[in-house]
Amino acid sequence: MNLHPPPGLTHFISILLTICLLGLAPSVILAQDQLTAPPSQSDQSSLEDDYLWDDEEELIIFDPIEPFNRAMFWFNDKLYFYLLKPVARVYRIVPEPARESVSKAFSNLGTPVRFVNATLQLKLKEAGTELGRFVINSTIGILGLFDPARGMGLKKHEEDFGQTLGHYGAGPGFYLVIPVFGPSNLRDGVGRIADSLVDPITSPYYLELKQLEEIGLKTYDQVNDLSIDKDTYEGIKRDALDPYLFVRSAYMQHRAAKVEE
């Protein structure tokens, strides 16, 4: 849903990029379980702990703007329950296979972003796969409504600019909840802006949809996905002691794993 970048935005992006790449916001401190006490205090159980998790890196999450983030989390929560979810629920009258096809078609439109970022990371095989998938699914798959490429062994690889930055060593920076868009971090937020320049729906360089069309399509994509989703967020709200902390941890872990791939 990013709008055409106003003059000066590119400048802003490059500043952010520089900050990111310089690693001024290092939020992942890879410490070998630095919080466990020295061995002298260890009992049997902590030795077991060290053994079971010795190949894991401790992911420390940096959230200096937590009050702001919690406010945005609250806002997004209301947006979800009072607007997006009710619409998605009504929309569920459309049969599920049709909704899955819509989801695949949008995913097909996401090819340029995945292709560009796979290429930037020099994952040439992945980039080739994306290209092949696009050609097959846009033709035999009827504008991406179906995914025959998957059956041919060409599997989709999620790539975005946040991962590209991570691939070249940028840390995630601080945790950031973006209004409407949800959980993110400094690096991925920058990545999102960069990707919107490549994404056919939002790109100012080709297709050049009107702003209202962009917003409409992006919202439709999300509502469609929400209609397929099995009330994940409701589950988190129900089960977690503090849903904000739960989402924050899960998001940061997920992105770290994505960069690692």
Partner 1 sequence: MKLMMKSAWNFSRGLSLLGLLLLVMALPAQAAQGPLSQLEQSVNQILEILRNDDVQGDERREQLSDLIRQRFDFKTMAQYVLGPQWRKTSLADKDQFTKLFSDLLEASYIGKIEAYTDEEVTFAKEQIEGRKAKVGTLILTGTTEIPIDYRLVSNNDAWLVYDVIIEGVSLVRTYRDNYREIVRKKGMAELLVRMEDKLAEIRQDDTAG
Q: Which stretches of the chain bind partner 1, using CB under 8 A?
A: 1, 35-37, 41-43, 45-46, 48-49, 51-53, 56, 59, 61, 76-77, 79-80, 84, 96-97, 100, 103-104, 107, 155-156, 158, 180-183, 192, 218-219, 221-222, 225-226, 228-233, 235-236, 238-242, 245-251, 253-258, 260
For residue 11, the minimal CB distance to partner 1 (Å) is 24
For residue 142, the minimal CB distance to partner 1 (Å) is 16
Count other Cβ atoms within 10 Å, centred on residue 35: 7
Count other Cβ atoms within 10 Å, centred on residue 221: 19
For residue 63, the minimal CB distance to partner 1 (Å) is 10
Which residues are within 8 A (CB) of 145 and not within 5 positions of it... i.e. 6 or more apart?
101, 102, 104, 105
For residue 22, the minimal CB distance to partner 1 (Å) is 25
Task: For partner 1, give the closer residue by CB, 51 or 205.
Answer: 51
d(CA 206, CA 199): 9
Strand ranges, E, within the chain: 175-178, 182-185
Task: For partner 1, give the closer residue by CB, 55 or 93.
Answer: 55
Residue recorded with tokens 């990111």: 20
Residue positions counted in the chain: 261
Task: For partner 1, give the closer residue by CB, 17 or 191.
Answer: 191
